[in-house]
Structure 1
Amino acid sequence: MSVKKIYLIRHGQTDFNVRGIVQGSGVDSSLNETGYQQAARFFAAYKHLPFDKVYTSTLQRTQQSVQGFLDLDLPHEQHAGLNEISWGVREGLRITPEEDEEYNGVLQQWNQGQTQARLLGGESPDEVAARQRPFIDLLRSRTAEESVLVCMHGRAMRVLLCQLLNYPLSFMDAFEHRNLCLYKLHYTGSMFSVNSFLDVMHLEECV
């Protein structure tokens, strides 16, 4: 097969991002003004590419981030496997590693390889990885789709990159992300590789 090109982006900025409030899969927030500007800049930079398919999570902030491409009538599929990790009872709250001992403790467990750990009512990285695998199988199997755009969420993106690149999930924090950042990946039919890491050049006038 020819090399499949995968343009993997995180959704644009939301007010929850600005305020440091955890969204997760249970908070279906919308882009803010900056997020829409980021989406417009990404579209302006990449609208010339012949994407065969656009994939998003089921949460509206991902669809809003690629709306320009959908307005071109490109084929679009939503997949719950691309949804953000569930942070359980902590969703909708402002928590940071410095302020919240439990939250910080779970992040440390993940970094130490205990990726079955979760916050109360939430998901573990292992569980996120399991629900992403059908989507990965889909990416592998659809050989006619030579160029695809995938929009998802920060923590879930880290999990997906670990799976595509055969890293342990404890490595996921090495994959940095920003709102509307881009990872370009190639799939040769046997392996995935990163062609571009944390590309934000299209956002230079949007900071």
Structure 2
Amino acid sequence: MVRFALTVVRHGETRYNKDKILQGQGVDEPLSATGFRQAGAAGIFLSNVKFTHVFSSDLLRAKQTASTIIEKNKFCKDIVIQYDARLRERKYGIAEGRPLNDLKAMAKAAGEQCPLFTPSGGETLDEVRARAKDFFEFLCQLSIEEYQKEQAVQDMVGNGLETLEGRPVFPLRNHCSGIELNSDTDRAGKMLNANILVVSHGAYMRNWFGYFVLDLKCTLPSTLKKSQLSSVSPNTGVSHFIINFENGDMNKPEINCTCLNQNDHLADMNTEKV
């Protein structure tokens, strides 16, 4: 069985986020001071997780968030962050750089609901979902290749060509339920072929998670409310998934969500006077 963990984090706050101005792809704002603090808090929250791969949108706010998270990590300070345009925010066309209320007014004038409305020059939800699906299939293929590499090494060991103590189990703390995965118990069942961090954007993530739930029948935490599924992640909100698929069959992934858009790591920040 191929098995990998996927942690998805929204970027930290920017000045435009605070002012409720659409950024999309055309406005490449840096993180605000608050955004850097949020990213640092997320980094501390994830500091005990040994990621094997890190991917980020190539927009500045996501790149700065990913870099800050990795700087706080105990295991991955030297890991190479890979930037991918497929992780960019939804493109909002003529609405980019304008207040969110302008987009709502455009949607109302067109007789459509705001989340479903596509402004001139923007991406449809189907187009965003196609990008997310393509990227997820890329991650699945990556994990299959890691699995195949491990199998090849095991074959070499079996043929007496190499000695190996065994593939490490990457430390992963499930912050949502407090369960630690390690080599002490049920080693085979908890082994990961990859442990992947992705930093992206709110509207993109909502669409991606919708694809997981509606198309791939992702299992959700019993405590999750429907309103949480349809809402945009808060800045540096953390979502975590475990993906399994039998015999490398990417058409039948089994996806389990352990937490969605969690931001408990910001609790102390929210009490600060800034």
TM-score (norm 2): 0.66
Q: 1:2·1:146 contact (CA, 8 Å) conserved in 2?
A: no
The residue number in structure 2 matching 1:19 is: 19
Give the letter aligned to residue 196 of structure 1. C
Aligned to 1:186: 242
Unpaired runs of 5+ in structure 2?
A: 72-76, 147-192, 217-226, 246-252
Distance 2:66 2:110 in 1: 32
RMSD: 2.5
Match of 2:230? 174
Shift of 1:21: 0.5
Is it true that 1:205 corresponds to 2:263 in the alignment?
no
Residue 43 of structure 2 contacts residue 70 of structure 2 at CA under 8 Å; is this kept in 1? no
What is the 5 A alignment of 1:1-207? Answer: 1-71=1-71, 72-96=77-101, 100-104=104-108, 108-109=112-113, 117-143=117-143, 144=146, 145-167=193-215, 174-189=230-245, 190-207=253-270
SS in 2 for 1:178: coil
**Matched letter for residue 267 of structure 2:** E
What is the deviation of 1:176? 3.6
Q: Is the 8 A contact 2:12 2:61 kept in 1?
A: yes
2:10 and 2:233 in contact (8 A); partners too: yes
Distance 1:161 1:120, change over 3 A: same
The answer to whether the 8 A contact 1:57-1:80 is kept is: yes
Which structure has the greater CA radius of gyration?
Answer: 2
CA gap of 1:206–1:137, structure 2 versus 1, over 3 A, is same
Structure 1 residue 159: deviation in Å? 0.8
Are the aligned partners of 2:108 and 2:114 in contact in 1 as well (CA < 8 Å)? no
- SS for the counterpart of 1:30 is coil
Contact residue 30 and residue 61 of structure 1 kept, 8 A: yes
Contact 2:11 2:236 in 1 (8 A): yes
TM-superposed deviation, 1:31: 0.3
Maintained 8 Å contact 1:96/1:103: no
Please list every run of 5 or more consecutive structure 1 residues that lacks an aligned counterpart in the other structure.
none
2: distance between equivalents of 1:206 and 1:95?
25
Q: Deviations over 1:74-133 (max 9, x none)?
A: 132111111001110110011327x8421356794476xxx5x51111111111112222
